[in-house]
Copies of this chain bind each other. A is one copy, B any other.
Amino acid sequence: MAEDLRDKLGAQHLPLRDQVLAALRTAIIDGDYLPGERLTEDRLAEDFGVSRNPVREALRVAEAEGFVVILPRRGAVVASPSSGTIADMFAVRERLEALAARLAAERASAADVAALRALLDQGREATQRQDLPRVAELNSALHLRILQISGNPWLSSIAKSLYLHVQWVFRLGAAERAPHSWAEHIQLVDAIESGDGDRAEQAALAHLDAASAAAYENAEGGYGAAH
């Protein structure tokens, strides 16, 4: 048993615990494991075809990242993001991405800007094709790229983590909302290219405000689970 998944995972030469962590994260984000669901070590070990050790190590990190909650002597359960934390997450993201936009504007090379423009083009195209999953993917890619261009590793890693959680909440809320106006993205990249930090920061703030409003409205109904 368990050979099937192990082979699938074991193809690469990454430590198993990292593969388990990645698999666990995506399983949670994709809703395969729902908020409140119990994650016993044995069960996860079997699901991923590994022994308890890699699972345990992955669980500790997942806890630190906020995807699971571990109760002493009781084990792990999938965390339950409440609608309160959506607002909290966006409040933090807004500050962080505004800073990222400013730094990116101040530091972006021509190649950086070109890469952003390329993403913008692909996004426009995907939007026309109504390929929503692809648009969402490009949306993430754009934001992550700006983070990277900012050159601040702390900013980058923290915002990346927040971004994952935002995606998680979105997935749970069934509504696959049409990703927020691509026009805002264009203004943001324009601002970054101009090298004007203030302008870039304002553009980021405006974008995040709009996204936050939409997200909050979308999630208002509640998104199941979470007892």
B-binding residues in A (CB < 8 A) = 14-15, 17, 53, 56-58, 60-61, 63-66, 72, 85, 88-89, 91-92, 95-96, 98-99, 103, 152-155, 157-158, 162
C-alpha spacing A91/B162, complex, angstroms:
18
C-alpha spacing A92/B158, complex, angstroms:
10
Indicate if the CB atoms of B154 and A85 lie closer than 8 Å: yes
In the complex, what residues of B have CB within 8 A of residue A17's CB? 60
In the complex, what residues of B have CB within 8 A of residue A155's CB? 88, 91-92
Indicate if the CB atoms of A98 and B95 lie closer than 8 Å: yes
Query: Taking the full assembly, how many copies of this chain does it contain?
Result: 2
In the complex, what residues of B have CB within 8 A of residue A15's CB? 72
Chain B nearest CB, measured from A72 CB (Å): 6
In the complex, what residues of B have CB within 8 A of residue A98's CB? 95
In the complex, what residues of B have CB within 8 A of residue A152's CB? 88, 91-92
Indicate if the CB atoms of B65 and A154 lie closer than 8 Å: no
Chain B nearest CB, measured from A140 CB (Å): 19
Nearest 9 A/B pairs, CB to CB: A95-B95, A88-B152, A57-B60, A64-B64, A61-B64, A92-B154, A88-B154, A60-B61, A95-B99
Question: Can you list 7 contacts pairing A with B, beta carbon distance less than 8 Å?
Answer: A14-B72, A15-B72, A91-B152, A92-B99, A92-B154, A92-B155, A158-B158
